[in-house]
Amino acid sequence: MYSFNEKSVFDASELSYRLLQGSAALFPTDTLPALAAAPNAASQLWEIKQRPTKKPLILMGSSATELFKFASLKSIEDAEAMASRYWPGALTIILPASGPFVDVLNPGGLNIGMRVPACEAAIELLTKSGPLATTSANLSGHPPSINAREASNYFPELPLLGPIPWPAPSGMASTVIVWRSIGHWQVLRRGAVILPEVSSK
């Protein structure tokens, strides 16, 4: 039984408006619930989560086309091939970045992690809001939340995407791979997606 304050739960249109006005928010994905903000308001996420800024945020979007416009052209062909096999899905692809978002998502870094989630509710929100800076919906060092109630317990002041209850996630974090050079990827974190064609070395 869910007993959320109705004033804290919004549909995709309402929540996207709040995000674009600078609010952080909570929404479901196929893996774990997300804590999110518009990229130009992403700095608050490290503070809210009590997370070191040396740990980058992930740019989540509704399509590969939308995300890859922020990636370096040299990686696009490989990235599109990987995305065609595993997106939407539980694979985070780290690419050399171009454009304005790298400094706000990965301060001092050169890459951005990107993902298109396999969750209809998340895709509806991302279609309306555009790409969002995201991280798992838990305090740094604490267990990840797996549903709206747990996410809201961590961050009771933040709005949530409705309707609630959310679709059940896998509960397993995404697999993370990084592009090293043409035709060469490396697994940084093993997760929900198995990639036999990619080395962990």
Cα–Cα distance for residue pair 93/111, rounded to 1 Å: 10
Helix (H), strand (E) at residue 79: helix 73-86
Angle at 190 between CA 187 and CA 191, to 5 degrees: 135
pLDDT of residue 127: 98
Q: Does domain 6-189 have CATH number 3.40.50.720?
A: no
- Give the H or E element holding residue 97: none
Q: How do the pLDDT tens digits run along the chain, 201 residues long?
A: 345 566 699 999 999 999 999 999 999 999 999 999 999 999 999 999 999 989 999 999 999 999 999 999 999 999 999 999 999 999 999 999 977 889 999 998 999 999 999 999 999 999 999 999 999 999 999 999 999 999 999 999 999 999 999 999 999 999 999 999 999 999 999 988 888 778 665
Collapsing DSSP to helix, strand or coil, 144 comes out as coil
